[in-house]
Amino acid sequence: MVDAAFYLKDLGEAYFFSVDKYCRSLAQAGFDTVDAVLPVQGVADEVYFFRGLEVLRIKFQPKTGGDTIVEGPIKTLDKWKSLAGTTVDRVGAAVTVPGVPNQAYLFSGPNYVKLDVVKDRIIYGPAEIVKEWPGLAKAGFDSVDAALQVPEDKAKEPGETYFFRAGQYARVQGIPSKPDVLQ
């Protein structure tokens, strides 16, 4: 089962996390598992890792083993105060909004938000996945365990993303401000 995944463009490699397989900086921060991963847009080798109610920003360098903690761990609601009072406090999956700088979809149980991660502002939501993501609903997903965006140069369609749930996956085309499409 996939708990979290992300693609590191500079290395051309995808990383998958399951249960307790993780990098050294995660262990130093007390992260024995990873719930979600979100690449920091505009910074080639930095990534947000989510576990429970916390987030950690790491300069991720798997080839050298020299990854370092940039920020955290801190409570997700302290990092993005706009999430306070929403149903999204424990991030289970995260992906950047295709073609839109500094925005991400954060998934938590049956809900998600579209967040400007720089301005700390909710763009949309919280909303139910099954009502707003018809492609995921059609695939039988009422929540998301992990998500992996296909790199732009390798995607068949813009916004192509693999979503994982309970040992299953669905390939979906995420289109900002439009319904997703099951591929």
State what percent of residues in the chain have pLDDT above 70: 86
Token readout for 124 is 């949309």
pLDDT at 142: 95
User: Running DSSP on this structure, what letter comes out for residue 28?
Assistant: H
**Over 70: is that where the pLDDT of 180 sits?**
no
pLDDT tens by residue, 57-96: 988 777 777 788 899 899 999 999 999 999 898 999 999 9
**Percent of the chain at pLDDT above 90?**
49
DSSP per-residue string spanning 92-127: -EEEEPTT-TTEEEEEETTEEEEEETTTTEEEEEEE
182 pairs with which residues across the strands? Answer: 172
Q: In this predicted model, which residue has the larger pLDDT, 165 or 159?
A: 165
Q: Is the pLDDT of residue 20 over 60?
A: no
The CATH number covering residue 46 comes to 2.110.10.10
Q: In the predicted model, what is the mean pLDDT of residues 39-58? A: 90
pLDDT in tens, 95-143: 999 889 999 999 999 999 999 999 999 999 999 999 999 999 999 999 9
pLDDT at 19 over 60: no
- pTM assigned to the model: 0.89
Rounded distance between C-alpha atoms, residue 87 and residue 110, angstroms = 9
Q: Which residues contact 146 (CB under 8 A, 6 or more apart)?
A: 2, 3, 4, 5, 16, 17, 36, 92, 93, 163, 164
Structural domain of 92: 4-182
- When mean pLDDT is compared across 18-32, 82-96, 157-171, the lowest value belongs to 18-32
Residue 24: per-residue pLDDT: 64
User: pLDDT value at position 21?
Assistant: 52
The count of structural domains within the chain is: 1
Dihedral over alpha carbons 106, 98, 153, 35 (to 10 degrees): 0
Considering only CA atoms, which of 129, 125, 151 is closest in space to residue 139? 129
